[in-house]
Amino acid sequence: MQMTDYHSRRLGISFASVGAHLGWVYLSSEIVYEFGQSEKEEWLKELVSSQFADLVQHLEALDPKTLGTFSERERDFKINIMRLPEGEVPVFVLVVQEVEPELSERNWEDLSNQVLTFCATGISLREKNILDFHTITDPIRKKMERAFSGDVHSGVIAFFHLQDLSPFFKPLGVVKSREILREVTATLHKETKENEFNFQLNPRSYFLFCPGETLDGANHRFGSLYFPSKHLILDYKLKIFPIDREILADDSKFSSIFIENF
């Protein structure tokens, strides 16, 4: 399986896991990924395009906005759009879902991580490079900077590099494959404390940022962590990096952590 095939399928699974009836990824005003179908797709495209200039100017990143509702085949749907942290080119994700239930902040965070990963690998119909490396890491750096406040001046980044899961996907099918990937994410969520956050940089690379944590403390916490999935115990490599304000301020030092483990 090609890397692009994996990312496309993984993003589709992410849309399905949040109950999306239809999902689109916009790079600027261009749709570069489509999930699901609707009889009102042309109307939806016009709805977004008519508000696009306002969305670019005023919609804050990671703050979902409801554009409206509609009915189709006796089901009521709402239209949500969220802007993602990006560099020079605006990136939006549109989700059409049933009116209830609302997507949680965690749902949006997981979906945004998959969209950014999809974009970072250069996937589009023309296989062009959509977002560069710094576009992905700069929002992460800013979030880390905000976490260093008061008496917290340092922490660690725990890097989990999972075994290649693609050989399992074809024989297991979409449902079972989705369960494996969701269990990986769920394991990390359980290990993530309130003041910490985790993110996925590519299909096998997961990072957990722990402000205020020490190397010894992180080794104790994560040294025996395992990723159970049905009848499998997923193998992985663990690396732990110290991080402080000085490293965050040094572009070379900060980027090297991710470039070496991308």
Q: What is the number of structural domains in the chain?
A: 2
Which of 109, 130, 151 is at the close of a domain?
Answer: 130
Q: Are residues 76 and 162 in the same domain?
A: no
Q: Are residues 121 and 16 in the same domain?
A: yes
Which residues is 93 bridged to in the sheet? Answer: 25, 82
Cα–Cα distance for residue pair 250/51, rounded to 1 Å: 39
Give the CB-side neighbour count of residue 40, counting CA atoms within 13 A: 18
Helix (H, G, I), strand (E, B) or coil at 262: coil
Choose the most confident range, by mean pLDDT, from 50-54, 84-88, 164-168: 50-54
Which of 90, 112, 130 is at the close of a domain?
Answer: 130
Neighbours of 182 (CB within 10 A): 15
Under a CB-based contact definition with an 8 Å cutoff, are residues 94 and 30 in contact? no
Q: What is the pLDDT of residues 151-191, one digit of tens each?
A: 899 999 999 888 876 676 667 665 666 677 778 778 888 88
Cα–Cα distance for residue pair 6/174, rounded to 1 Å: 12
Q: Are residues 122 and 150 in the same domain?
A: no
pTM: 0.52
Q: Are residues 197 and 120 in the same domain?
A: no
pLDDT at res. 226 = 81
pLDDT at 207 over 70: yes
- CATH number for position 155: 3.30.70.270
pLDDT at res. 80 = 94
Q: Are residues 126 and 163 in the same domain?
A: no
pLDDT-based confidence at residue 205 (cuts at 50, 70, 90): confident
Q: Are residues 158 and 186 in the same domain?
A: yes
| Spatial CA neighbour of 181 closest among 209, 207, 203, 159 | 203
Q: Are residues 34 and 101 in the same domain?
A: yes
Cα–Cα distance for residue pair 69/91, rounded to 1 Å: 22
Q: Are residues 199 and 155 in the same domain?
A: yes
Q: Are residues 113 and 172 in the same domain?
A: no
Average pLDDT, integer, range 123-128:
39
Q: Are residues 24 and 122 in the same domain?
A: yes
- CATH number for position 25: 3.30.450
Q: What is the pLDDT of residues 18-42, one digit of tens each?
A: 889 999 999 878 888 899 988 899 9
Peptide bond into 211 cis (omega under 30): no
Within 103-246, strands assigned E span 154-162, 197-202, 205-211, 227-229, 232-234, 236-244
Neighbours of 157 (CB within 10 A): 22
Residue type, 52: F
Q: Are residues 110 and 149 in the same domain?
A: no
Apex 33 CA angle, 27 and 61, nearest 5 = 45
47 Rama sector, left if φ>0, alpha if ψ -120 to 50, beta otherwise: alpha
Which of 96, 115, 130 is at the close of a domain?
Answer: 130
Cα–Cα distance for residue pair 155/6, rounded to 1 Å: 32
Average pLDDT, integer, range 198-208:
77
Domain range for 241 is: 135-259
Q: Are residues 117 and 145 in the same domain?
A: no
